[in-house]
Amino acid sequence: MSKLLFFLLISFAILLEGTITSIPIVLDMLLIFYILKRKSSLFILAFISGIILDVFEVRALGLTSIFFISFLFIVFQYARKFEIATYPFVFFASFLGGLFYLWIFNYNYVFQQATVSSIISILVFIGLKKL
């Protein structure tokens, strides 16, 4: 059930981010899934979703995957010493991740989008935690 839900959520996020918005929602989803499941298979999901986004956004293939995988690795390293399933962590991790993502890929409204991205992360985190 949770696998199907994750699949639907990430597919929806990829389609939205690939076509109509630049808010880094795929990054948010990967972060939340990692916090909730902590499975190494998430690196595979990060890789595939990065490649699909690169195709949709006409970037050099692999660039977004490198960013996603590196971001998850930093979260993984942080999780070894600190608790990550907390609201402040979700907020700041998605804010900082989003900020770098938007800056690297040269989007407008970087701060506003990173803030909205953090709010989305918190909402998805609350929603999935209750399930």
Partner 1 sequence: MRQRERFLFVFFIFILISIVIFLLSLGGNLKFASSILEKLASPIGGTIFTVFHRLPFISESEQTKKLKDKNLNLAVLLLEIEKLKKENSALRDQFQTPKPKSDNLMPANIIGSHGFIPGITTPSNFILDKGELDFAKVGEAVVYKNNLIGKVAKTSSRLSRVEIIVNSSSSFTAKTQGDVLGVIKGDGKAMTFSNVLLSENIKVGDLVTTKGDITIEGIGYPQDLIIGKIISIDKNPSSLFQKARVESFVNFNKLFMVFIIMTNE
Nearer to partner 1, 2 or 11 (CB): 11
DSSP secondary structure string for all residues of 99-127: HHHHHHTT-SSHHHHHHHHHHHHHHHHHH
- Compute the chain's Rg from CA coordinates: 13
Q: Are 26 and 14 in contact (CB under 8 A)?
A: yes
Binding of partner 1 at residue 52 (CB under 8 A)? yes
Binding of partner 1 at residue 36 (CB under 8 A)? no
Tokens of 107: 């989007």
Binding of partner 1 at residue 74 (CB under 8 A)? no
Nearer to partner 1, 7 or 73 (CB): 73
Contacts with partner 1, residue ranges (CB under 8 A): 15, 17-23, 40-41, 43-44, 46-47, 50-52, 55-63, 65-66, 69-70, 72-73, 76, 80, 106-109, 112-113, 116
